[in-house]
Amino acid sequence: MAELELSNVSKRYGGLLVVPDISLSVGDGEFVALVGPSGCGKSTTLRMIAGLEEISGGTISINGRVVNDLEPDERGIAMVFQSYALYPHMSVAKNMSFALRVAGRPREEIDSRVNEAARILGLTEFLNRRPAALSGGQRQRVAMGRAIVRRPDVFLFDEPLSNLDAKLRVQMRTEIKRIHQNVGATTIYVTHDQIEAMTLADRVVVMNNGRIEQVGTPAEVYASPATSFVAEFIGMPPMNLVGADVEGDALVLDGGTRLPLPETLRTLPASHDKVLLGLRPEDIAPAGHGLDMAAPWSLDVPVSISEPLGAETLLFFELAGKEWTARMLSPRPVAPGERLSFNFDLSKLHVFDAADGARIN
């Protein structure tokens, strides 16, 4: 069990600064997900924590001990990669016990740790099989078992589920959550999949271009994204975002549509006359087909596309030069071109500075 602290950590490859300055505190037993688009520096950050990548500046400490100059195997961490990297000629049990055997642990201790991990992971009946005779999900569990038997202070995962098909990913996601609840180890989990991050983590770290955009609980980053980048990245389908001007008591969308400025936004600083407005799809619904709204504003528009998903239907329409998404509960068939009266819950508006994307409400 362990606390992990990154203070002003940076990474430079030659002249390229890929991680300028990251600070992050992870509590004992906490599950933190690093999420962001491809190339934003997630793996680099994880590899610096693991000691697989030298850091260019700052400090990394585990349990208050600076580990900057420690070798990976001296840091008390275990890493699970996207490619499971199992030894094909070894049984599941041998794969799982490899690190302990190399470390010269006594036979009884190795057996008991492997059996315990196999029990947690539901691998007991596969201990004598080779990896080739396992499914993708079972191989992924063996890779996790290899980490668990080492009883590391910190677990590091780098996209561990991305080689699995969609259904198995969802199963393994639940599995990882259950294992974390049982084992309770401090965990840093890298993924580009915001749903994986949101469902698994106690706190989500949203990265963009080597920087942290926001750190918060899944509920916080969803309800109150700190930047327009986070607003668009977290949530599926993504938040509707449109440029607007603040003019007295009105918000004027690009193209001229005027919305009343909600009470809650009356205090917007005058310096923010040009803004980006955000509204999630669930905060726009055809009249009679959504949840109760605190501050509805209505607009009649033709629907361009409807996507029935079973429990709900996504409806797309054009407004202010953008395609918007709305969510209809209690679905009914909607033909393309059909005009519907949409209610917009303006009490749920997210407002960002148009210049730098920072949240201002």
Ligand X SMILES: Nc1ncnc2c1ncn2[C@@H]1O[C@H](COP(=O)(O)OP(=O)(O)OP(=O)(O)O)[C@@H](O)[C@H]1O
Encode burial over 247-262: b for 16+ CB neighbours within 10 A, e otherwise.
eeeebbbeeeeebebb
The pair phi, psi for residue 351, each rounded to 5°, is -120, 130
Binding status of residue 43 toward ligand X by CB under 6 A: yes
Choice from 26, 42, 203, 253 touching ligand X (CB under 6 A): 42
Residue 118 structure tokens: 């196999």
Residue 133 and residue 145: Cα distance in Å, rounded? 17
Choice from 22, 26, 44, 189 touching ligand X (CB under 6 A): 44
* Residue 35 vs 276, nearer CB to Mg ion: 35
Binding to ligand X by CB under 6 A, coded x per residue (else -) over 47-66, reads: --------------------
Choice from 1, 13, 178, 339 touching ligand X (CB under 6 A): 13
The side-by-side arrangement of strands in the sheet containing 322-328 is: 305-308, 313-319, 322-328
Tell me, by CB under 5 A, how many residues bind Mg ion.
1
Choice from 8, 23, 27, 39 touching ligand X (CB under 6 A): 39
C-alpha to C-alpha distances, 267 to 200, 224, 231, 248, nearest whole angstrom:
36, 17, 21, 11
Residue 209 structure tokens: 């271009």
* Residue 84 vs 324, nearer CB to ligand X: 84
What does the CA dihedral 54, 59, 61, 64 come to, rounded to 10 degrees? Answer: 150
Which one of 39-47, 163-171, 320-328, 341-349 is the stretch in contact with Mg ion (CB under 5 A)?
39-47
Binding status of residue 329 toward ligand X by CB under 6 A: no
Q: Which residues contact 270 (CB under 8 A, 6 or more apart)?
A: none
Smallest gap from residue 45 Cβ to ligand X (A)? 7
Within 209-238, which residues bind ligand X (CB under 6 A)? none
Smallest gap from residue 86 Cβ to ligand X (A)? 21
Closest CA to 155 of 53, 81, 58: 81
Question: Which does residue 18 bind out of Mg ion, ligand X, none, counting CB within 5 to 8 angstroms by kind?
Answer: ligand X
* Residue 191 vs 343, nearer CB to Mg ion: 191
Binding status of residue 82 toward Mg ion by CB under 5 A: no
Closest CA to 278 of 342, 357, 205, 211: 357
Choice from 40, 206, 226, 244 touching ligand X (CB under 6 A): 40
β-strand pairing of 31-35 with 186-191: parallel
Smallest gap from residue 153 Cβ to ligand X (A)? 23
Closest CA to 41 of 14, 12, 15: 12
Which one of 40-48, 99-107, 169-177, 294-302 is the stretch in contact with ligand X (CB under 6 A)?
40-48
Residue 123 structure tokens: 């691998």
Q: Is the CA virtual torsion 319, 323, 324, 325 positive or negative?
A: positive
Q: Is 184 left (phi over 0), alpha (psi -120 to 50) or beta?
A: left
Within 247-286, which residues bind Mg ion (CB under 5 A)? none
Within 154-213, which residues bind ligand X (CB under 6 A)? 192
Within 192-211, which residues bind Mg ion (CB under 5 A)? none
* Residue 126 vs 155, nearer CB to ligand X: 155
* Residue 43 vs 97, nearer CB to Mg ion: 43
Binding status of residue 45 toward Mg ion by CB under 5 A: no
Residue 59 and residue 4: Cα distance in Å, rounded? 11
Question: Which does residue 280 bind out of ligand X, Mg ion, none, counting CB within 5 to 8 angstroms by kind?
Answer: none
Binding status of residue 43 toward Mg ion by CB under 5 A: yes
Binding status of residue 122 toward ligand X by CB under 6 A: no
Residue nearest Mg ion, CB atom distance: 43
Tell me, by CB under 6 A, how many residues bind ligand X.
12
Residue 146 and residue 95: Cα distance in Å, rounded? 7
Residues at the site binding Mg ion, with contacts judged by CB under 5 A: 43
Residues at the site binding ligand X, with contacts judged by CB under 6 A: 13, 16, 18, 36, 38-44, 192
